[in-house]
Amino acid sequence: MLPKKGRKLPLWKGVLGGREIYARTIAELLRKEHGDSHRAIKQLMRQTDASERTVKHWLAGQHGPDTVYFLRLVVSSPVIRAFFLGLIESPLATPLTEAVDRIPLARARDAYASGEIAGGDTAAQGLKTDPNHVRKSDPKNVPDHFAFNKRQRWFLNRITEGRCDAKEIATAWTVSLKTARRDIAALKEAGLINYVGSRRKGRYRRIRE
């Protein structure tokens, strides 16, 4: 409960009790993953699109990444992602009940799809420069669904919740049915999905996670 008088909020008693602790924690994690060389700075600049000065401040623990940069690190850094998952799965985290879990999950997936659209060419360029990226023209050699385009990743998430087909891809992403069907065909060829049931009432399902 907030105090009735004064401008100060009650002290946070959970993990990362202040900005200085947050900055030092992130600095330790980044140095653990990348070291503190000039090469590490360049790598973090590529991962987050932050300036050289900003990255140096992170590594020195002068201040931590703000929201956008932190989320980019969660996506691109295995160490930061593991740290983040450790926070939300800790005993101090407020547990989600089954009744409210599905709605936020669906909204999060929709937000992710919107973010992919907003990212546009930037996200596609990131895949092109990724040394681990496998071309879509060679789907049989793709190790998992993250090598596919944003429409295909969206489709894989959708079919875990219910029926979804080429028409939904075409409508959601404003592409032709031919393009949508080609996306689905690549997923089938890669062995990630199959079609079960009749032609009218059947559905696509994931073969493996």
Query: 121 pLDDT band (50/70/90 cuts)?
Result: very low
**Encoded tokens for 81:** 């992602």
pLDDT by residue (tens digit) across 188-201? 888 889 898 888 88
Q: How far is CA 135 from the centre of its chain?
A: 20
CA atoms within 13 A on the CB side of 22: 14
Domain ranges of the chain: 19-88, 98-206
Cα–Cα distance, 121 to 127 (Å, whole number): 10
Cα–Cα distances (Å) from 20 to 3, 11, 16, 90, 98, in that order, read: 25, 14, 9, 21, 36
Coil, strand or helix at 204: strand
Closest by Cα among 191, 209, 185, 77 to 142: 191
User: Hey, what are 131's tokens?
Assistant: 């040394």
Rounded to an integer, the average pLDDT of 47-51 is 89
Alpha-carbon span 40 to 56, nearest angstrom: 10
Q: Tens of pLDDT along 126-162?
A: 444 444 444 443 444 444 444 578 888 889 888 887 8
Class of domain 98-206 as given by CATH: mainly alpha
170 contact partners, CB below 8 Å, separation of at least 6: 176, 177, 179, 180
* pLDDT of amino acid 132: 43
Q: What percent of the chain has pLDDT over 90?
A: 11
> Using one digit for the tens of pLDDT, what is the confidence trace for 2-33?
555 556 656 656 666 788 888 998 999 999 88
